[in-house]
Amino acid sequence: MATKVNRVNTLKACFEMGKTRPTAMEIHQWMEEKLHIVESELLTLQLVGKLNAVYMKFINIVCYEKYLRLLAGKSNITLLNGDITSVTISPADMETVSVRVLNIPP
Protein backbone atom coordinates (compact mmCIF):
# COMPACT_ATOMS: atom_id res chain seq x y z
CA MET A 1 0.00 0.00 0.00
CA ALA A 2 1.44 3.40 -0.99
CA THR A 3 0.27 6.78 0.23
CA LYS A 4 1.25 10.28 -0.89
CA VAL A 5 2.40 12.51 1.97
CA ASN A 6 3.32 16.21 1.81
CA ARG A 7 6.27 17.34 3.87
CA VAL A 8 5.20 20.15 6.19
CA ASN A 9 7.35 22.45 8.36
CA THR A 10 10.41 20.95 6.67
CA LEU A 11 13.57 22.39 5.14
CA LYS A 12 15.76 20.46 2.71
CA ALA A 13 19.54 20.93 2.67
CA CYS A 14 21.10 19.53 -0.53
CA PHE A 15 24.85 18.95 -0.41
CA GLU A 16 26.91 19.42 -3.57
CA MET A 17 27.04 16.26 -5.66
CA GLY A 18 30.44 14.91 -6.65
CA LYS A 19 32.07 16.09 -3.43
CA THR A 20 32.83 14.14 -0.27
CA ARG A 21 29.54 13.41 1.47
CA PRO A 22 29.36 14.87 4.99
CA THR A 23 28.99 12.38 7.82
CA ALA A 24 26.06 12.52 10.23
CA MET A 25 28.36 13.99 12.87
CA GLU A 26 29.56 16.74 10.48
CA ILE A 27 25.95 17.57 9.58
CA HIS A 28 24.91 17.82 13.24
CA GLN A 29 27.91 20.01 14.01
CA TRP A 30 27.17 22.25 10.98
CA MET A 31 23.53 22.64 11.98
CA GLU A 32 24.49 23.62 15.52
CA GLU A 33 27.55 25.80 14.89
CA LYS A 34 26.87 27.43 11.51
CA LEU A 35 23.08 27.38 11.15
CA HIS A 36 22.44 27.90 14.90
CA ILE A 37 19.45 25.55 14.88
CA VAL A 38 18.14 24.93 18.37
CA GLU A 39 17.75 21.18 18.91
CA SER A 40 14.50 21.57 20.86
CA GLU A 41 12.91 23.24 17.80
CA LEU A 42 13.58 20.19 15.60
CA LEU A 43 11.15 17.30 15.44
CA THR A 44 13.11 14.98 13.12
CA LEU A 45 16.11 14.78 10.82
CA GLN A 46 16.18 12.50 7.82
CA LEU A 47 19.40 11.82 5.92
CA VAL A 48 18.74 10.76 2.32
CA GLY A 49 21.92 9.33 0.84
CA LYS A 50 20.80 8.98 -2.77
CA LEU A 51 19.79 12.67 -2.85
CA ASN A 52 22.82 13.76 -0.81
CA ALA A 53 20.41 15.73 1.37
CA VAL A 54 19.05 16.14 4.86
CA TYR A 55 15.45 16.99 5.70
CA MET A 56 14.93 19.07 8.85
CA LYS A 57 11.36 18.93 10.21
CA PHE A 58 10.56 21.59 12.79
CA ILE A 59 8.13 21.28 15.70
CA ASN A 60 5.72 23.91 14.35
CA ILE A 61 5.13 26.44 11.59
CA VAL A 62 6.56 29.31 13.67
CA CYS A 63 9.96 27.61 14.00
CA TYR A 64 9.87 26.51 10.36
CA GLU A 65 9.17 30.04 9.08
CA LYS A 66 11.87 31.51 11.34
CA TYR A 67 14.55 29.18 9.94
CA LEU A 68 13.21 29.51 6.39
CA ARG A 69 13.73 33.30 6.57
CA LEU A 70 17.19 32.90 8.12
CA LEU A 71 18.59 29.99 6.11
CA ALA A 72 16.96 29.70 2.65
CA GLY A 73 19.50 29.94 -0.15
CA LYS A 74 23.16 28.95 -0.32
CA SER A 75 25.46 27.94 2.50
CA ASN A 76 28.52 25.74 2.86
CA ILE A 77 29.86 23.10 5.18
CA THR A 78 33.50 22.56 6.09
CA LEU A 79 34.23 18.87 6.53
CA LEU A 80 36.68 17.44 9.06
CA ASN A 81 39.16 16.74 6.23
CA GLY A 82 39.13 20.45 5.29
CA ASP A 83 36.97 20.12 2.15
CA ILE A 84 34.30 22.78 1.70
CA THR A 85 31.00 21.68 0.16
CA SER A 86 28.24 24.02 -0.95
CA VAL A 87 24.72 23.47 0.37
CA THR A 88 21.38 24.68 -0.99
CA ILE A 89 18.66 25.11 1.64
CA SER A 90 15.05 25.28 0.46
CA PRO A 91 11.52 24.49 1.61
CA ALA A 92 10.63 20.83 1.29
CA ASP A 93 6.90 21.31 1.78
CA MET A 94 6.35 21.61 -1.97
CA GLU A 95 7.48 18.01 -2.46
CA THR A 96 5.25 14.97 -2.26
CA VAL A 97 6.68 11.75 -0.89
CA SER A 98 5.35 8.25 -1.49
CA VAL A 99 5.29 6.21 1.70
CA ARG A 100 5.03 2.45 1.38
CA VAL A 101 4.26 0.22 4.33
CA LEU A 102 4.97 -3.47 3.92
CA ASN A 103 4.04 -6.62 5.83
CA ILE A 104 0.91 -5.39 7.53
CA PRO A 105 -2.57 -6.75 6.95
CA PRO A 106 -4.93 -4.59 4.87
What's 93's DSSP letter? T
Kindly report the pTM of this predicted structure. 0.82
What does the pLDDT look like over 47-89, one tens digit per residue? 998 989 999 999 999 999 999 999 999 999 999 999 999 999 9
What does the pLDDT look like over 5-55, one tens digit per residue? 778 999 999 999 988 889 999 999 999 999 999 999 999 999 998 989 999
Q: Where are the beta strands (DSSP E) in the chain?
A: 2-6, 10-15, 42-48, 53-58, 73-78, 84-91, 96-100
Confidence of residue 1 (pLDDT cuts 50, 70, 90): low
pLDDT recorded at residue 26: 95
